[in-house]
């Protein structure tokens, strides 16, 4: 099992980025970060997107109707997950400007509970932040210890950085 965190370059400098939490010494065999570039896609990513066991964790509801939506793929059948690591607006742009992602099968990561991410405004109803997506994938793939460790670090990060409303 492999998780690719496809990160918008602006996320690298944001203190509210949760994708970075999934990148630890314990997860290096499972989680990899690739920085998204609009005009120069990563060759390694391009080489795997057509495989039948690769899934994009991205809601179908976010895909414009004129774009084709790839067939769904179950979490169980998926061996490589691509998670867009960005704000919802940036993730939408990443998807729309990356034709190579349009044909990738969709994987739905249904959360056990609503998102607990509290560091950004304008969050998508029912959506999860990057760290929460990775936690759910790890759980569903039987990597409970990694999931519990990431969830613990996410909750601590979320609490320490929470902004007063």
Distance CA 110, CA 150 (A): 17
Range 2-160: architecture per CATH: 3-Layer(aba) Sandwich (3.40)
pTM: 0.88
Total length of the chain: 165
Distance CA 137, CA 57 (A): 10
Distance CA 54, CA 21 (A): 22
What count of other Cβ atoms lies within 10 Å of the Cβ of residue 160?
Answer: 7
pLDDT in tens, the chain (165 residues): 999 999 999 999 998 889 999 999 989 899 999 999 989 999 999 999 999 999 999 875 655 555 556 678 999 999 999 999 998 889 999 999 999 999 999 998 876 677 767 655 555 555 788 999 999 999 999 999 999 999 999 989 888 766 544
Q: Domain map of the chain by residue range?
A: 2-160
Helix (H, G, I), strand (E, B) or coil at 15: coil
Closest CA to 101 of 50, 61, 60, 64: 50
């Amino acid at each position: 099992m492999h998780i690719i965190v496809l990160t918008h370059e602006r996320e690298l400098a944001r203190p509210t980025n949760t994708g970075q939490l999934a990148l630890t010494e314990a997860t290096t065999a499972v989680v990899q970060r690739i920085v998204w570039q609009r005009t120069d896609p990563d060759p390694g990513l391009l080489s795997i997107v057509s495989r039948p066991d690769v899934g994009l964790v991205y809601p179908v509801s976010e895909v414009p109707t004129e774009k084709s939506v790839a067939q769904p793929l179950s979490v169980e059948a998926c061996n490589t997950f691509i998670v867009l690591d960005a704000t919802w607006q940036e993730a939408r742009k990443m998807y729309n400007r990356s034709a190579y992602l349009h044909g990738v099968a969709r994987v739905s990561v249904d959360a056990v509970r609503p998102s607990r991410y509290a560091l950004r405004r304008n969050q998508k109803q029912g959506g999860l932040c990057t760290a929460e997506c990775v936690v759910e994938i790890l759980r569903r793939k039987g990597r409970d210890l990694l999931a519990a460790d990431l969830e613990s670090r996410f909750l601590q990060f979320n609490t320490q950085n929470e902004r007063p409303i």
